[in-house]
Amino acid sequence: MNVNLNVSPIESWGTNSKPFVIAGPCSAETPEQMRAIAEGIKDLKVNVFRAGVWKPRTRPNSFEGSGAESLQWLSDIKKEFKIPVGTEVANAAHVEEALKYDLDVLWIGARTTVSPFSMQEMADSLRGVKDKIILVKNPTHPELALWIGAMERLNQAGIEKLGAIHRGFSTYDKSKYRNQPIWQIPLELRRIAPQIPIICDPSHIAGRRDLIADISQKAMDLNFDGLMIETHHCPEKAWSDADQQVTPERLGEILSELKIRTTSSDNQFFIDQLEDLRRKIDNLDRELLETLAARMSVVEKIGEYKKENNVTTFQVNRWDEIMKNRAEIGKKMNLAPEYVTEIFKTIHEESVKKQSEIMKVTEA
């Protein structure tokens, strides 16, 4: 995938320190609530105070935010505490309202990112805006092209202070997370577009405050640029997403305990050892590829026999046997069953594809 984005480095956001931290309540509830939280985080290394003004809810009759009225509350926080402020926008009207109150950061939520029409409308409303940071959350489902496309629309409108927010993905898989991290997707974004700053939103990934510290550290270990952590002075009484918000005190603990790692080292012994181990990895990868190629040759022969005997390519009993057996063998070799299962799902998908191609070939 070719990605051509003219994006300013994160240093242009007004900080050289890492991580870039965005913190504040899920929702702006009252002026008093906003001020109490701002007071609680004012001495922490927080770069932007956030609060949801318009809250997209799955079902009606839930609290959907205080609306444009609370933009004034954010403006008051900015003036009193001398801190940049930001909120989520979901349409062009939201953008225009937020710009009236001179908000510094606008982010686009996962539900909006999936709509090219909404993204284009907001891009048009932001055309010519140079001094605001615009962040784009990943779409609700794991599709990298949609995420990139949303940022391309904004970039083509002249937005250069542009960044991505990883907030996890909605899947059918059950786990301890509210939204599955699927880390390989933001890592692929970093690989193909290394110029784009990436912020992790551990609050929405976790859905539970007790997981936020671990997810934050994971993001730092993966060289993310920042964190967006929902913070409330009294989380248990929050009007929305109470379970995933932390107190200012806990936010301070999380930030102080983070280990920020570098991308390289000047230690020559480390460099030599790393190169040696990487050479071993390269050799093992070649052996893996040779084994996969040999396996595929056997798959092709099986496909020919199935064709000759008019047998279907997919055999559910055999597939079930492979999945159980390989996971058990892998576990004995200290490999996580989930890891082995995912590998063999990919191998099996390619095997079925190859045998299906064989079935299509007609005899001369």
Sequence letter at residue 148 = I
Note the pLDDT of residue 100: 97
Q: What's the pLDDT at 57?
A: 62
Rg over alpha carbons for the chain, rounded to the nearest Å, is 24
Q: Are residues 90 and 181 in the same domain?
A: yes
Residues 39 and 75: beta-carbon distance below 8 Å: no
Q: What is the CATH classification number for the domain harbouring 343? A: 1.20.59.10
Note the pLDDT of residue 176. 93
Is 2 part of any domain? no
2 DSSP assignment: -
Q: pLDDT tens digits for the chain (364 residues)?
A: 888 899 999 999 988 889 999 999 999 999 999 999 999 999 999 999 999 998 776 666 667 678 889 999 999 999 999 999 999 999 999 999 999 999 999 999 999 999 999 999 999 999 999 999 999 999 999 999 999 999 999 999 999 999 999 999 998 878 899 999 999 999 999 999 999 999 999 999 999 999 999 999 999 999 999 999 999 999 999 999 999 999 999 999 999 999 999 888 999 999 999 999 999 999 999 999 999 999 999 999 999 999 999 999 888 899 899 999 999 999 999 999 999 999 999 999 999 999 999 988 654 4
Largest Cα separation within the chain, whole Å, is 82
Domain boundary among 235, 257, 279: 257
| 145 and 275 together in one domain | no
- At which of 212, 228, 257 does a domain end? 257
Alpha carbon distance 165, 163 (integer Å): 7
The verdict on residue 4 lying in a domain is no
Instruction: Determine the pLDDT at residue 363.
Output: 47
Domain count for the chain: 2
DSSP code of 25? -
* pLDDT value of position 364: 40
Instruction: Note down the domain range covering 292.
Output: 268-360
324 domain residue, yes or no: yes
Q: What is the CATH number of the domain that holds 159?
A: 3.20.20.70
Distance CA 230, CA 251 (A): 9
Closest CA to 242 of 29, 40, 18: 29
CB atoms near residue 107 (< 10 Å): 26
**pLDDT at position 55:** 72
Asked if residue 226 is part of any domain, the answer here is yes
Residue 19: asked if its preceding bond is cis (omega within 30°), the reply is yes
- Tell me: do 98 and 219 sit in the same domain: yes
Whether 60 and 209 share a structural domain: yes
Give domain status of residue 3, yes or no: no
Domain co-membership, 190 together with 291: no
Start-end of H helices in 166-229: 184-192, 202-206, 212-221
Q: Is residue 263 part of a domain?
A: no
Among 198, 229, 257, where does a domain finish?
A: 257
